[in-house]
Each structure stands twice: as C-alpha cells, then as structure tokens.
Structure 1
Amino acid sequence: MDPNLLYWRSEGQSFLSRLRIWLDLLDPTSLLSSDAEVQKAHALLGSGEKLNEKGGHAQTLSLSSVHADSGAAIPLVFRPPAFLPISGPLVVASFLPHIGVKPALFWQFLLQSYSAGFNHANRNSSSEQGKTTSLKQLLLIAGAVSYATCAGVLPQFFINRLGVRSAPLHTFFRSILPIPLSAALAFFNVLTVRSEESETGIQVFDSNGNPVGLSKAAGDKAVRETALSRAVLFGATTAVPTLLVFLLQRTRFFQRSSLLVAPFRHATVAFALGLMIPVSFSLFPQLGTIRKENVEEKLRTAADNGHLYYHRGL
C-alpha cells in the first residue's frame, strides 16, 4: 500500500481529522516545489523514519502532490492546492449575469473542462498502471465536458430565448435554477469521467495493506462517493451566496445601495467555494472501506476483519 494511503488509514478516519489535514494540504505554496522535491518527500514518507519538522513539510508535500496509485507527481494544475486558485475565477465568471449565451458558454466550457481534467488526474488508476488512456475514455471526457457545458448555460439560454422580463422568472433562472443544476452537473462530471473504475474495478487491500484484486463494487462506491462530495461542493457554493443576497436585499442598506449586490454576490461565491473545498474533500475517507458481503465473492476470503480497503481518489 502506498505511504500516502497508509497515512490516511492511520490519521484520516474521522471527518474532523480529515478536515484538519486538508486545511494544511490545500496551502498553495506547495505548488512552488519541483517534481524532484515532491518525489523526495514521497520517498521520505515511505521510509518509515520518524518525521521531524522538516519531515512534516515532506509529508504535506507528498499527500498533496503525489498520486497514491502510481506514485508519480500529479500534474501541477490538477493538484488539490491548485483547485481553488484555478477554479475560483472560473466559478465566479460562470455565475456572472451574462448578456448573451456565448460568454456564458465560454466560461462554462472552461469550468467543465478544468473539472473533468481534475477528476481524471485524481482518479483511482490502479487498474490502468502501464496503460495509456483509452480512446473510449477520452471520448467520454469530451462528451461529459460538451454536455455539461451546454446544460450549464440553460438558465442564460432561457432568459435570452424567452425574453424574460418578469422579476420572479428572472430570479428563478438567475438564482434558483443554478443551485440544483450546478450540483447535478458536478455529480455527472465525476460519474462520467471516472466511469471506467466502475467497469473495470479498482484495487482493494486487506487489513495488512496487501493488494488482493480488483473490485467493481469498490470502484462504483469510490466514484459515487466522490461524485456526491463534488455535488455538495458546487451546490453549496451556488446556494450560500444566493441565500445571503436574498437576506441582505431586505436590509435598508442594500435597498439604498443596490449597486453593491453584484460585487457582494461574486465575493461570497469565491468565499463559499474556498470554505467548501476542504469540507467536500473531507466528506469521505481517502482510504475507504467496503464490507466483504458487498464485494465480489472471490475477494471475500481476503476480508479477514470483515471489510477491505480501497483508494477513493479525489
């Protein structure tokens, strides 16, 4: 079992412990480290030596930058610490009240493309070691991005197509519809991009950390957990600013200063995203467990303590 997974097994089994770890791992200064430094940190974490203060930095660098299946450094732009700096402006821009469909389409395409790339780079790749990404998987990723981009601009399309002038309808398309739509598209993006894990299975481990085979049931569970966590992330990022704006528009100050509403909404979108990222990443363990009765029959004998372990991915 990879040293990163061994660490998650010992330290990351409760939500609060995972949240504390992710708050450290999401520090964007770790992106300044080179791939050589990342690999050195990973080797140090796997050496079994007692870590000092310098070793603590190596531990953080390894957990945030090394893929737990391949042991290779994750591409820089798709590492967890890069998620907020890159996706933040894209999320804010995609929620802007665009005049036409084309600007909305452009920003949705960038957001969905980055989300697909992040989901693919941080997937469980245990069944793909030594293989290149298949044409089928590339087509699925392209299809997921295309579909999510088109679906993401539906509110803007309806406003333009129907010529919405009614305030309640405008509020519905601008503020209410994007909440379930953002959550559903985030869920769909993960589910589609990582569908191969459910089809081919992912590596599962016994209680001693030894690999015992591939499990489609574990793959399906890992994908659905990650998809749910991403739906919570984008759904909450959309809902919180909408609720705050709705409440503050009732105050006398915002009624007098209506021009402040738009900047406040954009600022709260970025703030909510920043708060929700570590929460979303912490919802489920990185090293998940699955009960032996839920895995394939041929793997059940290896579950000596009643369950097997799997890498969930991110």
Structure 2
Amino acid sequence: MDVNLQFWSTEGKSFFQRFLHWADILDPTVLLNSNETIEKSRLLLQTSAQTLQEPLQDKKVKEAWKLSLSSVHPGTGEIIPLVFRPPAFLPLATPLIFASLLPHRGAKQALIWQFLFHAYTAGFTIANGNATAKAEETALPQKLPQKQLLLYTGAVSYSACMGAFPYFVMTQHRLSGPMQTFFRKILPIPLLASLSVFNVMIVRGTEYENGIEVMDKNGKVIGVSQKAGLKAVQDTALSRAALFGTAVIIPESLLYFLNR
C-alpha cells in the first residue's frame, strides 16, 4: 500500500481530521519544492521507524507527510505534475474562473477564457482521479489513452462553447435590460455549476465504466467496483459544482446588496 493511502486510512477517518489535514496540505508554498525533495520525503516516510499511529509528532516527519500528500498520487505513487497538484488548484483556478465570468466585448474572448478554465479543471480532474481497473488507464499515465484523450477534448470543447453561449446571445441579439441582466449575471452561475459536473462525469467516465480497485484496511485489493467508481466521481462532481457556484454567487450577492 502506498504511504499516502496508509496515512488516510489511519489519520483521515473523520471529517474534522480530513478538514484539518487538507487545510495544511493546500499550503501553496509546498509547490516550491523540487521533485528530488519530494522523493527524499517519500524515502524518509518509507524508512522511518515511526509508526503510523503517531505520524505527526516529529516536525521533520510531519513536513515529509505534508509534501508527500500534496504532491504524490496515492493510487499510483507517481509525482503529480506541478500545476495539477492540490495546492495549485485554487491559485490557478480562481483567476481563470473570474476571468471567464467577467464582461467580455465579444463571444470569441469569452470562449477563449472558458476554454482555458475548463481545460485546466479537466486536466486537474484526470491527474487526481482514481486508478481504474485497467493498468494502462491509471490516473497519471505517461500518455493518455486514446479514449480518455477524446473524452477530455470533447468535454472541454463542449463546456467552453456552452459557457460562452450567454455572450454569444448578447452579441447576436438586441436584448432588453432584464434579459441582459439574466444572461450576464444570473445564467452564468448555474451554467458554470452544471458544466463543472458535466466536465468531471465525462473526463472520469472510465472510473465508473471499468470500476476502481477496492482495498481492505490493510491495503490489499479485494476487488473492482463500478459502484465505488461512480460514487467517487459523483462526489467529486458535486463538490466541484458547490465550490465554483459558491465562489461566484457570494461576491455577486455582496455586490448586489452593496449597490442597493
């Protein structure tokens, strides 16, 4: 069993534990570490005599855990590409999401920003997805399988076009004031949440199609489950929609009440 999986099996049993660990793991400063430093941290964890029952008592070991959990995929043991590591998600996705929702002069500009946003989130989704039942379709392969590449391209293209649709309508048709408000400020929020769900469900479709490996508490693979794959993808899709929807609707609501 990978050391990251061992950690979550002992330290991440409750929601509060996972919340505290993720708050620590998402520190963007860990992105400054090189792959060599990450490998050394992994080696320290693998050779440390300290038990997993008390993995966070020693400061050096604690930092090693933080670096490993934030940089290495637990299903494959491979180092995640820098821009797709969890600590990089909010710093990179936040400006992209707001840039994609800003007022644009034309549909073409909106389409470009929508494409960049959905391309990044889809890449992040693939890089951090579960390893599927087929060995050649792990979450971080050296080369994307043809099917997954087609799913990625299709999902990103469709999401970008649909995300830019409100701007296309506004530039092609003369709309009344209320309709302008609807297409510019109201429609993009549920549309973004829906497209985020669509993006995850399509890009990680191989997980519920082929199933993902299910392990016991000792890390031994006991079978492959399509239900587990579907639940994992659905949970990710819903959390992504909630994250992006909340990130947009809160500042919009504050601006609305301040203007009043």
Same fold (TM over 0.5): yes
Corresponding residue to 2:188 among 172, 178, 182: 178
Match in the other structure for 1:231: 241
Corresponding residue to 2:171 among 130, 142, 160: 160
Q: Matches of 2:224 and 2:180 in 1, distance apart?
A: 50
Residue 102 in structure 1 maps to residue 108 in structure 2: yes
Q: 1:46 to 1:126 in 2, by over 3 A?
A: farther
Match in the other structure for 2:219: 209
Match in the other structure for 1:45: 45
Q: Which has the higher contact order (CA 8 A, sep 6+)?
A: 1
SS at match of 2:135: coil
Offset of residue 126 of structure 1 = 4.4
Percent identity, please.
Answer: 51
Q: Deviations over 1:181-220 (max 9, x none)?
A: 1111111111000000111111101233211121111111
Match in the other structure for 1:9: 9
| Counterpart AA for 2:148 | Q
SS at match of 1:153: helix
Q: Matches of 1:7 and 1:199 in 2, distance apart?
A: 28
Offset of residue 130 of structure 1 = 4.8
| Counterpart AA for 1:68 | P
Residue 134 in structure 1 maps to residue 156 in structure 2: no
Match in the other structure for 1:147: 158
The answer to whether the 8 Å contact 2:211/2:226 transfers is yes
Moved more, 46-55 or 24-33: 46-55
The answer to whether the 8 Å contact 1:39/1:72 transfers is no
The answer to whether the 8 Å contact 2:111/2:161 transfers is yes
Offset of residue 23 of structure 1 = 1.4
Match in the other structure for 1:218: 228
Q: Matches of 2:92 and 2:2 in 1, distance apart?
A: 28
Residue 193 in structure 1 maps to residue 203 in structure 2: yes
Q: Matches of 1:124 and 1:133 in 2, distance apart?
A: 14
Q: 1:130 to 1:47 in 2, by over 3 A?
A: farther
| Counterpart AA for 1:72 | E
Once superposed, what is the RMSD of the aligned Cα atoms? 1.5
| Counterpart AA for 1:142 | T
Match in the other structure for 1:240: 250
Corresponding residue to 1:59 among 62, 65, 72: 65
Q: Matches of 1:12 and 1:152 in 2, distance apart?
A: 36
The answer to whether the 8 Å contact 1:42/1:66 transfers is no
| Counterpart AA for 2:242 | V
Offset of residue 61 of structure 1 = 0.4
Match in the other structure for 1:117: 123
Q: Matches of 1:36 and 1:130 in 2, distance apart?
A: 26
Q: Deviations over 1:2-50 (max 9, x none)?
A: 2112211222233222221111111111111111211222233334532
Q: Matches of 1:128 and 1:245 in 2, distance apart?
A: 49
The answer to whether the 8 Å contact 1:108/1:152 transfers is yes
Offset of residue 55 of structure 1 = 1.1
**TM-score between the two structures when normalised by the length of structure 2:** 0.91
The answer to whether the 8 Å contact 2:197/2:237 transfers is yes
The answer to whether the 8 Å contact 1:112/1:148 transfers is yes
Q: Matches of 1:71 and 1:89 in 2, distance apart?
A: 30
Match in the other structure for 2:94: 88
Q: Matches of 1:178 and 1:16 in 2, distance apart?
A: 33
Q: Deviations over 1:230-268 (max 9, x none)?
A: 111111112111211111111xxxxxxxxxxxxxxxxxx
Q: Matches of 1:73 and 1:137 in 2, distance apart?
A: 20
Q: Matches of 2:75 and 2:181 in 1, distance apart?
A: 45
Q: Matches of 2:241 and 2:219 in 1, distance apart?
A: 30
Q: Deviations over 1:65-110 (max 9, x none)?
A: 0001110100111001111222122112111110110110010010
Q: Gapped runs of 5+ residues in structure 2?
A: 138-142
The answer to whether the 8 Å contact 2:71/2:79 transfers is yes
The answer to whether the 8 Å contact 1:155/1:177 transfers is yes
